[in-house]
A and B are shown apart, each in its own frame.
Chain A
Amino acid sequence: MTAAPRQKLVGQSITRKEDGPLLRGQGLFAADVNFPNQLHMRVVRSTYAHGKILSVDLAPALAMPGVHAAWSFADVADIPPIDFRLTKLEQLAAYRQTILAKDKVRYVGDPVAVVFADDPYLAEDAAEHVVVEIEELPVILHADGRTGEFRDGLLTEPAIIRKGYGDVEAAFAAAHATVSLSLSIGRHSGVPLETRGAIGRYNAAKDMLEMYGAAKVPHWNRDQLAKMFGRPSLSMNLFEGHVGGGFGVRGELYPEDVLVCLAALRLGRPVKWIEDRRENLIATNHSRQQTHHIRAAIDAEGKILAIDDEFFHDQGGYMRTHAATVPDLAAAMLPGPYRVPAYRAVGHIRLTNKTPGGTYRAPGRYESTFVRERLLDAIAAKVGVDGVEIRRRNLIAVSEMPVTRALETLGTDIVLDSGDYPLLLDKALAGVSWDELQTKLKERRAAGELVGAGVAMFVEKSGLGPFDDVRIAIDTNGHVEVVTGAASVGQGVETVIAQICADTLGVSYDCINVVHGQTNRIARGLGAFASRVTVMTGEATRLAAIKLREKVLATAAELLQSPAADLDIVDGLIVRSGGSAGPSIRIAQIAAALAPGSKLLGDDEPGLFAEASFESKHMTYPYGVHVAVVSLARDTGAISVERYLVAYDVGKAVNPMLVEGQIVGGVAQGIGGALYEEFTYDDRGEPLAVTFADYLMPTAREVPQVDVIISEDAPSPLNPMGLKGAGEGGANAVGAAIAAAIDDALGMPGAITKLPVSPQMIKALLRDRG
């Protein structure tokens, strides 16, 4: 008997479970959380980029009516600095940030004191009455310049990342030619539309400390906070509400999260802190800023024999939770989709007097893709072929898969699990009708226009383990609850998880509720980062749903007196497989039959639920191609992106509409970093981009129509659905593709060596060109 084909939800662009409340103004973002009798916290921040703290006088603030407390470092000296979450290196520990600055400030925005008042306006007034005396010290603003002293004789270069394999020296000695470039990527970051926020609340009756406004990694943060306060983990809970964008920066453990919780404990009142935008631009993690000196050894055809890269990573004032993650990923992922027989990367982690850094969507890869793809373009120019041909000559062939690179990152060995890179390149080129496009661009250039196209390729990583748990329960009304250890930063977690659960279990999408980001609902969880949720939580959901389905069918088999193998679950109804006639029973009735006190239970544990874990030691590796077409204005140097295409292989797209949304959103952020967004500083380290009038994010005018090709040629062999994560491929290669397109428009191969590219730079290049 063949089962009637059920309408599968996985693979369909169905509308999101999340949208209703968000569209009706019923969201629960951090600022929407309020508790009776709450205090408001305001942070007093350093106005110097580097200096010795001579004194902090809290008295004038404390004298103001409605101000209940104010702290400087002396008041929180018992709290340890914030620890690392990923890529810990022992030698970085001394560079961690304390929750208030101890005796030195290291960037404009460094928290020096906090005040607590009845009203946020009053708290802001009071913060201005805290008198901080600072003796200014010389600043270090360039990661690739001289090193200096961090503190107590510690150098501003705490560690060097070294990765590589093969005999690089021999490859260069035997090379037909070499190509060398110096390239840099500007300082920019995720900048979610919702600023950070945290509300701490202490329930003395239950000795329970709570934090609202959690995001990304609530369980990790719960454990860390508990450790910092010397409390058991189970006496703390973190709750995620709606999160207004994450992009890597939001949800990491920051000083302010610790401060609101500590204040709730000590002051016995709920404490609310909502970051303002100026704070967000100087206090929340920056990212990306690196300078690379890269060279390649090539043969006569332009095939790569070796790559040798030395880079300087501008970490800013302190080492935050990501520790060495960004430079580590930059070094580990740099070889990309190409055959690189010998490789060496040396990455200098440098502390500077700027806002500390962390990850931002495609961390380390936006940077190293720009560098590698610029190198490929330079190799093409050197051997006299075009950018497409040079890539074809160097791409890893499908027959070579899987490819083990003698590199590791994030505690995993890099094994490119599957991929047909040349095929995706073909698809991308066909998607823009590449040959016709070239003809048209030539005609336009002949007519005097400055237009050009660029191609960039990359390998992403996703689905970071090592585990994820899911518990699915069905109540006696037939409602299904999926409890996950995932987190949602707006990407559509509830929708995707519900799709997988509905298909596997055989229930309707609408009856499923997906829980995430609640530490009191599941013992452990790794949250949302590294494009991991669909892969890890998705597969854990499938496994739990399979178990639960078996349980439902086993019970139904008894009740219907029919072998479980002959039964199916369709839309919450247990029926005979293949649509044949016979008795049926609703899943709600099965739940009732297994409810506590039911006579049918026998020795079985009551309740209709199942739990499963998915474990994975390796990441999955999606891959993509970006094609950009740009035009330049000769008079102003303005750069417009006329057309953009992304082809991305994600193995299997659970919801193509959401995948496309991730890609297009990533492209917009990539364009920001390539052309507009930059955290600049004056020579005393004063930040110059502290409002949205200075920090320019792309608007609807700057982002072109983005064409997306979602490809499923290379399902991951590491999970049964073949999933690879889709979160970061949209951003990854934008800088690289736009740089290549601008070179092409100018007719100056290798002209772009630095991001973001400004109109002034274009004007200067046009002048140089004559």
Chain B
Amino acid sequence: MTDKSNITLTINGRSHAIAVESRRTLADAIREECGQTGTHIGCEHGVCGACTVLVNGEPVRSCLMFAQQAAGKEIRTVEGLAKGDEMHPMQRAFMENHGLQCGFCTPGFLMLAVGVLEKEPDISDHDLVDVLSSNLCRCTGYQNIIKAVRAAAIEMRQS
């Protein structure tokens, strides 16, 4: 299992030429080979969603995808949300609405919410809660996450 292949991962617009075993998960490659540790690993079996990143615009559980499957695709992670000092409206909304406590699940929620709202800016409240119910948070009880995403949705629609 130790044969490695050379691949290039494009994360937040930057290319990372790396060598990985075929069994290497995208989550591990993003974190270890590419050094982007903002993407967190919570369960390694695709339930908690802490490792959610966008691959070609789609929210993906990076623990369930092999790094090699993501080669050549556009990957976006939490590190790519802010523009320099200026936070993404979703990040700001999480701060203003106390949508995080320990912050471990937060990158996954941010990427999930941004990914969905970029594609469906007018998503209904009901469907939004459905989408958010695909990730787990253990601290907040979700209501401030829902509040934050709704607030960001309004801002994202306006901009």
Contacts and interface: CB of A to CB of B under 8 A. Distances in A.
Interface of A: 13, 15-16, 18-20, 22-27, 29, 31-32, 121-122, 125, 190-195, 242-247, 276-277, 489-492, 657-658, 660-661, 664-669, 691-693, 697, 699-703, 705-706, 730
Nearest to A13: B98
A551 B77 CA distance: 48
Contact of B40 (A190, A244, A701, A703): A244
A460 B36 CA distance: 42
Given A23-B91, A121-B23, A244-B104, A665 B40 contact: no
B57 interface: no
Given A23-B100, A121-B1, A700 B138 contact: no
Given A25-B78, A693-B47, A121 B141 contact: no
Residue among B41, B79, B94, B103 with the highest chain A CB neighbour number at 10 A:
B103
B37 interface: yes
B129 interface: yes
B144 interface: yes
Contact of A668 (B42, B104, B141): B141
Chain A contact residues: helix, strand, loop or mixed: loop
Interface stretch (B65-73, B105-113, B115-123): B105-113
Given A25-B38, A191-B138, A658-B98, A701 B104 contact: no
A243 B129 CA distance: 27
Contacts of A15: 95-96, 98
Contact of A23 (B40, B44, B103, B134): B103
A262 to B, nearest CB: 25
A194 B40 contact: yes
Contacts of A244: 40, 102-105
A245 B82 contact: no
5 contacts: A29-B37, A660-B98, A664-B144, A691-B45, A700-B146
B103 A22 contact: yes
Interface in B101-159: 101-107, 110, 129-130, 132-146
Interface string B47-90: 11010000000000000000000000000011101100001000
A6 B149 CA distance: 34
Nearest to A190: B138
Given A16-B95, A18-B103, A24 B38 contact: yes
B104 A245 contact: yes
A703 B39 contact: no
B98 A661 contact: yes
A435 B81 CA distance: 49
Contacts of A697: 136, 138
Nearest to A33: B37
A478 to B, nearest CB: 22
Residue among B24, B36, B81, B101 with the highest chain A CB neighbour number at 10 A:
B101
Contacts of A705: 143
Contacts of B102: 192-194, 242-246, 489-490
9 smallest beta-carbon distances between A and B, as pairs: A25-B38, A490-B102, A22-B103, A244-B104, A668-B141, A692-B47, A25-B78, A664-B141, A699-B133
A492 B144 CA distance: 15
A692 B21 contact: no
B43 interface: yes
A140 B23 CA distance: 40
Contacts of A121: 1, 21, 23-24
Contacts of A20: 95
Contact of A19 (B24, B41, B94): B94
A412 B79 CA distance: 47
Given A121-B21, A194-B42, A491-B101, A701 B50 contact: no
Residue among A19, A125, A276, A703 with the highest chain B CB neighbour number at 10 A:
A19
B98 A193 contact: no
B31 interface: yes
Residue among B44, B48, B94, B139 with the highest chain A CB neighbour number at 10 A:
B139
A746 to B, nearest CB: 26
B26 to A, nearest CB: 14
Contacts of A25: 36-39, 77-79, 81, 107
B59 to A, nearest CB: 15
Nearest to A27: B103
B63 to A, nearest CB: 10
Given A23-B87, A701-B133, A665 B101 contact: yes
Nearest to B107: A25
B138 A24 contact: no
Given A25-B36, A276-B44, A664-B141, 9 more contacts: A19-B100, A192-B104, A193-B40, A193-B42, A245-B101, A245-B102, A492-B101, A661-B140, A700-B129
Given A193-B42, A667-B141, A668-B141, A490 B98 contact: no
Contact of A701 (B1, B37, B43, B129): B129
Contact of A24 (B23, B44, B79): B79
A242 to B, nearest CB: 7
Contact of B94 (A23, A27, A700): A23
A19 B90 CA distance: 13
B78 to A, nearest CB: 4
B60 to A, nearest CB: 16
Contact of A193 (B39, B104, B110): B104
Nearest to B50: A193
Contacts of A191: 138
Contact of B43 (A190, A245, A247, A691): A691
A394 B91 CA distance: 48
A719 B142 CA distance: 33
A693 B38 contact: no
Residue among B82, B104, B136 with the highest chain A CB neighbour number at 10 A:
B104
Nearest to B96: A15
Contacts of A665: 101, 138-141
Contacts of A29: 37, 40, 104
Contacts of B103: 18-19, 22-23, 27, 242, 244, 490
Contact of B132 (A16, A668, A700): A700
A245 B142 CA distance: 15
B145 to A, nearest CB: 7
B49 to A, nearest CB: 10
Contacts of A664: 140-141, 143-144
A432 to B, nearest CB: 17
A700 B101 contact: no
B104 A703 contact: no
B39 A16 contact: no
